[in-house]
A = this chain, B = another copy of it.
């Protein structure tokens, strides 16, 4: 009986779940997925996810791996799992990976994208899909500020206290701000993220966008390591996991983790 390590690529709308990680008394993505995979392969399953997204956070792409001795052909496994999933979670690919592959440990870097709907009036179709912020945001100022987040820095000032971490130093590869009409999207790529780091960086960029902070305040803000000096932690429903990098060919980016690039 050969045990295989299987990487699943999936997507999910986070609105109906209490985040990724299995919890007592709360419906989570991981638990829902485990139940569906178990039904498809006919034995209990534990998944390892590429990240612990919070309640309400979405994943346009996500990788989770699990072990099985099932003989289901891999090209049929997504459909078999999806038949047991709510429609807000969709498995889009199944690939066999080496035994030592781990969805979080093998991940080279990730990109999150935060969407802000910046208009005087709400858009009904963006409820739970973007953060509504009616006061005008100057995206040029936000782009200038975003450049200061790129590189290797201590990001304690944009970290919500949660679980302990060995170090609050991370490397941001790029931090891009783009406006398309009323929608501002902020994409942040890093080798790893602290708790609420993206939502706190984007909240800080909002403060810059309304003139409450200056772009050139950012370096001192980071050096100060003081959470209260930075902007607010924005709500989860504008946040999406959007890109993933691995060495293995599992349906996401396979290129070597890209080096630090200047923000456009």
Residues of chain A whose beta carbon lies under 8 Å from any beta carbon of chain B: 11-13, 58, 60, 78-79, 82, 87-92, 121-125, 127, 129, 132
Asked if residues B13 and A125 are in contact (CB atoms below 8 Å), the reply is yes
Q: What residues on B are CB-neighbors of A82 within 8 Å?
A: 121-122
Asked if residues B122 and A78 are in contact (CB atoms below 8 Å), the reply is no
Closest Cβ–Cβ distance, residue A232 to chain B (whole Å): 20
Q: What residues on B are CB-neighbors of A60 within 8 Å?
A: 125
Closest Cβ–Cβ distance, residue A213 to chain B (whole Å): 28
Complex alpha-carbon distance, A13 and B58, angstroms: 20
Complex alpha-carbon distance, A260 and B132, angstroms: 40
Q: What residues on B are CB-neighbors of A89 within 8 Å?
A: 124
Q: What residues on B are CB-neighbors of A58 within 8 Å?
A: 125
Complex alpha-carbon distance, A124 and B11, angstroms: 7
Contact of A124 among B12, B121, B124, B132 (CB under 8 A): B12
Question: What is the chain B residue whose CB lies nearest that of A134?
Answer: B79
Asked if residues B125 and A11 are in contact (CB atoms below 8 Å), the reply is yes
Closest Cβ–Cβ distance, residue A23 to chain B (whole Å): 21
Complex alpha-carbon distance, A82 and B132, angstroms: 14
Known: A87-B127, A88-B124, A88-B127. 15 other contacts (CB 8 A): A11-B123, A11-B125, A12-B124, A13-B124, A13-B125, A13-B127, A78-B121, A79-B121, A82-B122, A87-B132, A89-B124, A90-B122, A90-B123, A90-B124, A125-B129
